[in-house]
A and B are shown apart, each in its own frame.
Chain A
Amino acid sequence: MKKILIPFVVVAAVGIVLLLYFSTFVVDETEQVVVTRFGKISGKPITTPGLKFKAPIDIANYFPKNLQEWDGTPGQIPTKDKTYIWVDAFARWRINDPVTFFQAVSTLPSATARLDDIIDSATRNYVTSYRLIETVRKSNRSLDTLEKRKEEAKLDSDFSVSTGRKEITQGIMEQASPKLERFGIELVDVKFKRINYVKEVRDSVYDRMIAERRQMAEKYRSEGRGEASEIRGDKERELKRISSEAYQKAQVIKGQADAEALKIYAKAYDRDPEFYSFLKTLDLYENSLDKSNAVVFSTDAEVFKYLKDF
């Protein structure tokens, strides 16, 4: 009895296990499944995780449920103001309709190819129809630019945006989304990872930056020279002022002293001008006549009058 029973039990057990194995499948948190029977979709897609059942002849087709990333190929795109830039965009998407996805694209690589086509062209459309600044900036906050130029009005319009980066990426998304819906793909967002000038443009931008800085440097130097000159001018003026003021004061002092002296002399000599003149003349004789002088006297002179007439 035993010997007949054992193989039978074993075979039955194996059969049950195999049956269970082929009629269950596990769905991960990050997955969703479309069940097909002979290539035909059977039932609703399974989007909840856990242990699931199916007929042993059915096939479970797994698709990711979580957020996927699409990284675009950087490309050269001219902007509306004819500047060539490299644009590197990326997008996030998910399969929101696994049945449609299974029917329309079925594999991730082919989905990526569709995304490439659609998002790239939408990006190109938007970038080419806006000025570069619209793609770069997101708002109109006032910039602390190198210098407050006089033509500030012009500057503002150069760097002000009417659309901005956020709206542009939003626009790209809105253009691409409906096209991707047909593949069961939901586009969550599109963003610019990198935007840069192409090499040739970059070189000229560098030149511009250098020129801008140079003129700035020259401005500083010239300001320095100007201020230094002003200080030197101050110095000269100050020197002239000081010396002339001193001269003026000195002259006033001297003049007052002279006047004072005159007053004193006049007051004294006014007692007898004749006597003053007599005294002064005697002084003059004493001081001005010496050995070098030859003098001819007339006997009429007072001092010699006795020489003849005595």
Chain B
Amino acid sequence: MDTNKTMNWDWEKLQQQQQKRKKPDPGDGGPGGSGPGGGGIPPQMEDLLNKFKGFNFSWLPILVVLIIVLLFFANSMYYTIGIDEVGVIQRFGKYNRTTTSGLHFKWPKGIEKITKVRVKRVYKEEFGFQTLQSTDQGSFTTDKRPYDSANIGESLMLTGDLNVALVPWIVQYKIKSPRDYLFNVRDVHGLLRDMSEAAMRLVVGDRSINEVISSRLEIANEAMSILQKEMDHAETGISIVAVELKKTNVPDPVQPSFNEVNQAIQDKETMIYKAREEYNKAVPAAKGEAKRVIKAAEGYALERVNKAKGDADKFVAVYDEYKMAKDVTKRRLYLETLSKVLPNLGEKYIVDSEQQNFLPLLNLGKGKEGK
């Protein structure tokens, strides 16, 4: 590239020299000796020029050419460097100096060449995004190759347990050393892309699919350190600012089964909670019921003991009376009871104790009229 520009400049110089060479020629053998340099000028111009009589016209073309050349050089002798960039100056292709922002002067084109590098800017590279496929040309030269490019997606990776994961990520980088950046590697951008992929696959290749999905930060950090090491090793002058993993995932066809596992975990929880619900519904109620049974038993016990006490007290009271006049009281109690019982009885038959054949005659079922 640099040679090209140098050549350009040389060619222009050559043309000017050819001009210089041409112009005196017609002057030499020109008709009428109107003066060197006048031959190529149309007649009207000659009239105009004739007005400046007494002036030596022979130096004029050389003067004009000199001014043009000077202007041309002057134009390439100053340059401005923006706030976020530096200028790298090469003298005859060799690195000479690096200048910071502001207005600067240099030797003209052909001697010194300036390349501006934006050192403060953070560049971003994206890998494995859907939108990138169509926009980024640089690294997708592979698409032109005779194979189904879908076979090797940028984000499709093999994991350490030989599963397939989708890992999209971004790399942010800065130009740390403009000199290294410009001179050491032919296509730094391409190298960065390829190396990023290699580094990321190296890291993902040593992780299981579960780890790829869950521990993204760890993967990003390791990939970043590998990538930085490679970039330093190649002396690219690039400093990696960040490597960030986007949402890591499994390929579409496998996605439902991964969701199913999550679903199953939820199902499991649900089943356990339901069972706990049943437990909680029944057990406290049963505890209450148990208390009720015990209280009821206690009630029974109280009742039973109190009744017994009552009965006993009653008996003792009666017995105390009876003790004092045993025979009379017994008789009295007997007759009192019978006098209460007998009136209430239905049919009463009184049979003589000596009558032996009475029973067969008695119609027990029919007899209404008493004796």
Contacts and interface: CB of A to CB of B under 8 A. Distances in A.
B341 A28 contact: no
B279 A234 contact: yes
Interface in A35-49: 48-49
A220 B164 contact: no
A205 B95 contact: no
A195 B187 contact: no
Given A7-B28, A68-B186, A227-B268, A235 B351 contact: no
* Candidate in A14, A67, A74, A307 with the most chain B CB atoms within 10 angstroms: A67
B186 A243 contact: no
A39 B83 CA distance: 49
Nearest to B343: A291
A196 B91 CA distance: 48
Contacts of B163: 205, 209
Nearest to A287: B341
A69 B184 CA distance: 12
B294 A253 contact: yes
B120 interface: no
Contact of B275 (A214, A227, A242): A227
Contacts of A137: 160, 205-206
Interface residues of B, number: 135
Contact of A286 (B1, B206, B341): B341
Nearest to A6: B24
B194 interface: yes
Contacts of B322: 272, 275
Interface in B280-314: 282-283, 286-287, 289-291, 293-294, 296-298, 300-302, 304-305, 307-309, 311-313
Contact of A297 (B25, B142, B286, B351): B351
B297 A250 contact: yes
Q: Chain B contact residues: over half helix, strand or loop, or mixed?
A: helix
A197 interface: yes
Interface string A216-228: 1111110111011
Interface stretch (A85-93, A97-105, A119-127): A85-93
Contacts of B282: 235, 239
A291 B182 CA distance: 133
A26 B92 contact: yes
Contacts of B286: 238-239, 242-243
A4 B349 CA distance: 193
Contacts of A271: 316, 319
B345 A282 contact: no
A171 B254 CA distance: 35
B13 interface: yes
B51 interface: no
B93 to A, nearest CB: 4
Nearest to B292: A246
B289 A246 contact: yes
A57 interface: no
B177 interface: no
A60 B353 CA distance: 168
Contacts of B330: 275, 278
B77 interface: no
Interface stretch (A109-117, A138-146, A173-181): A138-146
Interface in A226-276: 227-232, 234-235, 238-239, 242-243, 245-247, 249-251, 253-254, 256-258, 260-262, 264-265, 267-269, 271-272, 275-276
A269 B290 contact: no
Interface of B: 1-3, 6, 10, 13-14, 17, 20-21, 24-25, 27-28, 36, 58, 90-95, 141-142, 145, 147-148, 151-154, 156-164, 182-187, 190-191, 194-195, 197-198, 201-202, 205-211, 234, 250-251, 253-254, 256-258, 260-261, 263-265, 267-272, 274-276, 278-279, 282-283, 286-287, 289-291, 293-294, 296-298, 300-302, 304-305, 307-309, 311-313, 315-316, 318-319, 322-323, 330, 333-335, 337-338, 340-342, 344-353, 362, 364
5 contacts: A69-B186, A74-B147, A144-B210, A250-B293, A285-B337
Given A49-B95, A196-B152, A235-B279, 20 more contacts: A17-B13, A25-B3, A28-B1, A90-B198, A92-B191, A138-B206, A144-B210, A197-B164, A209-B254, A210-B254, A213-B254, A220-B265, A231-B278, A239-B282, A246-B290, A253-B294, A264-B309, A290-B344, A293-B346, A296-B348
